[in-house]
């Protein structure tokens, strides 16, 4: 539903899938985890150039922990399974609008099904910064570093959720410990796609109380 408001493509929509809610969502609510393959920034940069460029479009990075999350992109079609990685479908607001959601990373202490001691896991979550009506599209601003790709795609993005609102909400964001433990208990591929286990001593126990901003990785494909 996001329309391009400026430039030669003005009046057209982005032509991309979007993330929508069937139910009304209150402000400060959890929407989804950002899922995919977790890599260190160095590992990501060492990928073959063509593959790195392909993954960059939907990748997000957490500077505070030097981690990049890349939803799996089909090598042939270049498409993402948004049913498996729904948060990756969330678009940016149009130029004159404001985002209704924001993405934050946090370290959560959680017990696995056979753990005697908790472990620290990095998670990335999408939250609302204002109420969203049923049937509406969920939108967040990818950050200033995405500007080159915006120009390549031919659109301008609207503003992010106001910083003062995000700062106020990070104090009351719902803790994700129970959700992380449920994922660990279920096991399987979703553990690796949703959680990044931090090495011992790499982070103090924040128990989800400390949140840091997340941004999209900005890479313009080589040769474009």
Give me the tens of pLDDT residue by residue for the chain, a chain 224 residues long: 888 887 777 888 878 899 999 999 999 999 999 999 999 999 999 999 999 988 988 999 998 899 999 999 998 888 999 999 999 999 999 999 999 999 999 999 998 888 889 999 999 999 999 999 999 999 999 998 888 888 887 888 999 999 999 988 888 888 899 999 999 999 999 999 999 999 764 444 444 446 777 888 765 544 43
What is residue 221's predicted lDDT score, i.e. its pLDDT? 45
The pTM (predicted TM-score) of the whole model is 0.88
Tokens 């990373």 found at: 105
* Pairwise CA distance, residues 40 & 4, whole Å: 34
Asked if 157 contacts 141 with a C-beta cutoff of 8 angstroms, the reply is yes
What is residue 218's predicted lDDT score, i.e. its pLDDT? 61
What is residue 205's predicted lDDT score, i.e. its pLDDT? 43
What is residue 113's predicted lDDT score, i.e. its pLDDT? 87
CA dihedral (95, 11, 101, 110) positive or negative: negative
């Amino acid at each position: 539903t996001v329309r391009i408001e400026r430039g030669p493509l003005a009046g057209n929509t982005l032509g991309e899938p979007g993330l929508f809610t069937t139910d009304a969502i209150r402000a400060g609510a959890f929407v989804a985890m950002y899922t995919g393959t977790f890599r260190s920034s160095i590992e990501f940069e060492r990928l073959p150039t063509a593959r790195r460029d392909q993954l960059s479009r939907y990748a997000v990075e957490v500077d505070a922990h030097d981690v990049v999350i890349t939803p799996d992109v089909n090598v042939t079609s270049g498409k993402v399974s948004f049913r498996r990685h729904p948060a990756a479908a969330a678009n940016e607001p149009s130029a004159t609008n404001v985002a209704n959601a924001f993405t934050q990373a946090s370290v959560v202490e959680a017990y696995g099904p056979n753990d005697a001691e908790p472990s620290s896991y990095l998670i990335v979550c999408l939250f609302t910064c204002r109420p969203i009506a049923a049937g509406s599209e969920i939108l967040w601003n990818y950050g200033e570093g995405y500007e080159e790709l915006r120009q390549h795609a031919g659109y301008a993005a609207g503003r992010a959720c106001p910083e003062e609102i995000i700062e106020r909400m990070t104090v009351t964001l719902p803790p994700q410990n129970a959700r992380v433990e449920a994922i660990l208990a279920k096991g399987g591929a979703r553990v690796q796609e949703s959680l990044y286990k931090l090495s011992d001593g790499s982070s103090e126990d924040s128990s989800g109380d400390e949140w840091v901003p997340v941004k999209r990785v900005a890479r313009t494909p080589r040769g474009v």
